[in-house]
């Protein structure tokens, strides 16, 4: 294989170029990749509609998709308001002032991006800082900013594999540690006596009660004092197109 040497050398150079871009010029890497990510987003939308392209149901499909997205946002917002009202009724709610958020478009999202990482087009120039919380439509928390360049930022979703996030679960706001499972899924371990049921909401800890997901399964192993709880995000991270970053 006489061609193997030159090809291997070319691949090595390619890897070195990406290494330099990632570690020394991360902003350039995002700028170069942005057009490709845009193409990927367009292809995803086109692929989603390909089944209805040849039928007269295309308009209805688009409308249904829009309504589903709106419904998810309203559901999240409603759950947030409902939780806030209950907290106020119990005199446990704190006084919160509205905070201005930074609107950022999502350049890369799962499933194109593995590891449940969002790359957005707002960075330190827009006052985004490491550790800031990123919210999706409806004010639902999605994750936290992991790193920032001048014009981009990386957001680790709460569902990032292995990521641990302190949160509350259920009506009684039982404190739990959310563990990311990848592909939008999360899990937690709670005491069997906690009374967690399918459909209970999971809230991000902190001011206000901001829902991040709902319980879809509760483990029922009679030999264990603890139950594993499987949690689904309220907002599908595969379809999020913009986020609001709270500094």
Partner 1 sequence: MIRAMTSLIPLISLFIFPWQVALVAIFAASLMVPPAGLAFGLIADLVYYSPGVAFVPYFTLFGIFSFVLSLLVHRFVKTRIMEG
Residues binding partner 1 (CB under 8 A): 1, 3-4, 7-8, 10-12, 14-15, 18-19, 21-22, 29, 33, 36-37, 39-40, 43, 108, 110-117, 146-147, 154, 156, 160-163
User: Which tokens sit at 18?
Assistant: 């990406």
Long-range contacts, stretch 196-200, CB < 8 angstroms, 24+ apart: 196/169, 196/170, 196/227, 196/229, 197/170, 200/169, 200/170, 200/171
By beta-carbon proximity to partner 1, the closer residue of 46 and 60 is 46
Nearest approach in angstroms of CB 168 to partner 1 is 22
By beta-carbon proximity to partner 1, the closer residue of 18 and 74 is 18
Nearest approach in angstroms of CB 229 to partner 1 is 22
By beta-carbon proximity to partner 1, the closer residue of 40 and 219 is 40
Nearest approach in angstroms of CB 110 to partner 1 is 8
Nearest approach in angstroms of CB 139 to partner 1 is 25
Kind plus residue range of the DSSP H or E element containing 75: helix 58-89
Asked if 109 and 237 touch (Cβ cutoff 8 Å), the reply is yes
What are the respective helix, strand and coil percentages of the chain, to the nearest 5?
35, 30, 35
């Amino acid at each position: 294989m006489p061609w193997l040497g030159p090809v291997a050398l070319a691949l090595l150079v390619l890897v070195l170029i990406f290494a330099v871009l990632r570690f020394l010029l991360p902003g350039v890497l995002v700028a170069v990749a942005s057009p490709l990510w845009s193409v990927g987003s367009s292809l995803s939308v086109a692929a989603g509609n390909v089944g209805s392209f040849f039928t007269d149901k295309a308009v209805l499909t688009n409308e249904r998709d829009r309504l589903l997205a709106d419904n998810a946002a309203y559901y999240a917002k409603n759950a947030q308001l409902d939780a806030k009202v209950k907290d106020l009724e119990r005199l446990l709610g704190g006084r919160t002032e509205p905070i201005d958020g930074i609107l950022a478009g999502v350049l890369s999202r799962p499933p194109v991006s593995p590891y449940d990482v969002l790359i957005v087009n707002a960075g330190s120039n827009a006052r985004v800082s490491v550790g800031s919380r990123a919210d999706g439509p409806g004010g639902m928390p999605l994750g936290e900013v992991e790193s920032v360049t001048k014009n981009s930022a990386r957001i680790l979703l709460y569902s990032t594999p292995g990521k641990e996030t302190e949160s509350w679960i259920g009506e009684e706001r039982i404190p739990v540690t959310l563990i990311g499972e990848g592909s939008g899924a999360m899990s937690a371990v709670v005491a069997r006596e906690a009374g967690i049921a399918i459909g209970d909401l999971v809230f991000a800890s902190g001011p206000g009660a901001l829902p991040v997901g709902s319980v879809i399964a509760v483990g029922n192993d009679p030999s264990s004092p603890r139950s594993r709880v499987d949690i689904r995000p309220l907002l599908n991270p595969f379809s999020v197109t913009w986020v609001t970053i709270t500094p």
